[in-house]
Amino acid sequence: MTDVGTDPRLEYAGRGMLLAWWAQQQPDRPAIISPHGTRTFAELNAKCNQLVRALRRRGVERGDSVALISGNLPEFSEVSFGTQRGGLRLTPVNWHLTGEEAGYVVDNCEAKALIADARHGEVAQVAAAAAPGVIVRLAIGGDVEGFESYEDALAVEDDSDLDDAESGTTMLYTSGTTGRPKGVNRPAAVRQVGMIAPIFGYVPGEDLNLCTGPLYHAAPLAFSHLIPLMSGVGIVTMERWDPEEALRLIQDHKVTHTHMVPTMFVQLLKLPPEVRDRYDISSLRHVLHGAAPCPVHVKRALIEWLGPVVFEYYAATEGTGTMVDSTTWLTRPGTVGKVVPDGQVKIGDEDGNELPRTEIGTVFLKAPDAGRFEYFKAKDKTDSAYRGDYYTLGDVGYMDEDGFLFLTDRSVDLIISGGVNIYPTEIDAVLLAHPKVADSATIGIPNDEWGEEVKSVVELAAGIEPSRDLEAELIEFARDRLAHFKCPKTIDFVDTLPRQDNGKIYRRLLRDMYRDSDPSK
């Protein structure tokens, strides 16, 4: 991809209009391919212009906030890129929330407009009622009481490019691990393109990116939506994750790029060999993953299957911290990449004091001189994330002698038993290597003597029945491979582990369930 900072795209990018540039270069090239319809670059660009004019007609101006409750529809992209050029602040809302939960987000982000997928109309109605600042309500793809038709509102507007476009921003909300979710102001999307897109090796007009996760999540939104489309590359969207369907889409559309999370890798590798062999996925050149530690044996198996096309990143709101390709990773299994430039990432204690190489501590990233992220209306939370020029996302890890970063866990997931730190992902990685285990989530549960004890909750492979003998077998399997103090004292079996809709296990729900129950059970 050509550097977005060179002419003639500099002027377009600065106004949030990079999509318009691509609409001129390749108007008939598919930008969106989804179960709910397609959009060419020209069609998507036109809808963005119409949306901004429709919102302005209804009193939504530069600097105002727009909330969006929608699945992976083409209209999601229209709202996302429309708000970018309208100088607006977009907050995508998790459509799995209750109406009251969504209402908190819509109200807290100070939304002036609420745009909702009609399939989530009941949630949208409750959310709108809880947010008195909302003056515009638009429903996509159907009737919702109290909402105007999105399609009708746009149809009457001019679709030509705006003369006064101005780059907007996106504000996503945390999952609310403690207390209410907090809004996180993110830098303009064009900055992400300039910093990150060149590493993808995109070929505009030829490549396609498969979006495997919900677009209201940060990683799918950036890596499978904003960055490819602003690089002139179309996207293929999934309504929900399904491992075999992903293989089919890659084959049928000759997908070249995708972003996944480690849980998806596990599910793909657990597919029967005859299912995996059924699909030609040789078009894949770039499989990107991050956001959670990936078990070494899982990633090694994935590389053996797909070839050296797997790339891993460690990133934050303001850009990437590290990146590692398959070849380098195989020389240092488990690393998320070398820290470049030196000092961009450091391992520190709770006060941010740097720790010696190989010592485990909190991972801190260096903040830019300008454009630091901040939690909306939560200065205390913002301040607590920073230690001088560095901030943390709550990750735990270490750096080896050569400057390669390794993640061990999230601090919120850390188990402290008898004063000793135990990292759940290390235990899950071992259990996942057992052929009878489909997935695993290890948590700490209350223990009167030790503070916490280790419990693993396991989802078994198809056809495997749970039993106390199997529990003993898995515990012994772990004890053969890990120090005994790390191993689960007990294992529970469940039909399905609670997952976020991006595929990650919702470990907090498990912790809450066990901590609210009698630990002796």
- 217-238 pLDDT, tens per residue? 888 998 899 999 999 999 999 9
Q: Give ranges for CATH 3.40.50.12780 in the chain.
A: 218-410
Beta strands in 108-150 (DSSP E): 111-117, 136-140, 148-149
| Res 409: pLDDT | 76
Average pLDDT for 169-183: 73
Least confident segment among 7-11, 355-359, 377-381, 432-436 = 7-11
Helix then strand then coil, in percent of the chain rounded to 5, is 35, 25, 40
| Res 507: pLDDT | 81
Least confident segment among 20-24, 147-151, 239-243, 417-421 = 417-421
414-515: CATH topology is GMP Synthetase; Chain A, domain 3 (3.30.300)
Q: Report helix, strand or coil for 352.
A: coil
| Res 178: pLDDT | 46
Q: Report helix, strand or coil for 461.
A: coil
Amino acid letter, residue 18: L
Residue 2 DSSP code: -
Which of the four pLDDT bands, split at 50, 70 and 90, describes residue 373? low
Q: Residue 3 pLDDT > 70, yes or no? A: no
Residues 6+ away with beta carbon under 8 Å from 158: 49, 50, 53
HEC string of 26-66? Answer: CCCCEEEEECCEEEEHHHHHHHHHHHHHHHHHCCCCCCCEE
**Is the separation of the CB atoms in 69 and 32 below 8 Å?**
no
| Res 76: pLDDT | 98
Q: Give ranges for CATH 3.40.50.980 in the chain.
A: 40-186
| Res 2: pLDDT | 46
Q: Residue 333 pLDDT > 90, yes or no? A: yes
Residue 222 DSSP code: I
Which of the four pLDDT bands, split at 50, 70 and 90, describes residue 4? very low
Instruction: Tell me: cis bond preceding 132? Omega within 30 of 0 counts.
Output: no
Q: Residue 501 pLDDT > 70, yes or no? A: no
Average pLDDT of the chain to the nearest whole number? 88
* CATH architecture assignment, domain 40-186: 3-Layer(aba) Sandwich (3.40)
Average pLDDT for 396-402: 93
Q: Whole-prediction pTM value?
A: 0.82
Q: Residue 420 pLDDT > 80, yes or no? A: no
- Strand pairing category for 451-460 and 437-447: antiparallel
Average pLDDT for 118-127: 97
Q: Residue 48 pLDDT > 90, yes or no? A: yes
Q: Give ranges for CATH 3.30.300.30 in the chain.
A: 414-515
Which of the four pLDDT bands, split at 50, 70 and 90, describes residue 251? very high
| Res 520: pLDDT | 42
- Strand pairing category for 286-289 and 257-260: parallel
**Is the separation of the CB atoms in 296 and 429 below 8 Å?**
yes
Alpha helix positions (H), 314-392? 326-331, 379-385
Q: Residue 315 pLDDT > 80, yes or no? A: no
Position of tokens 């393109």?
A: 193
CATH code for the structural domain at 218-410? 3.40.50.12780
CB atoms within 10 A of CB 298: 18
| Res 50: pLDDT | 98
Nearest Cα to Cα of residue 91 among 62, 73, 72, 112: 112
Average pLDDT for 498-507: 74
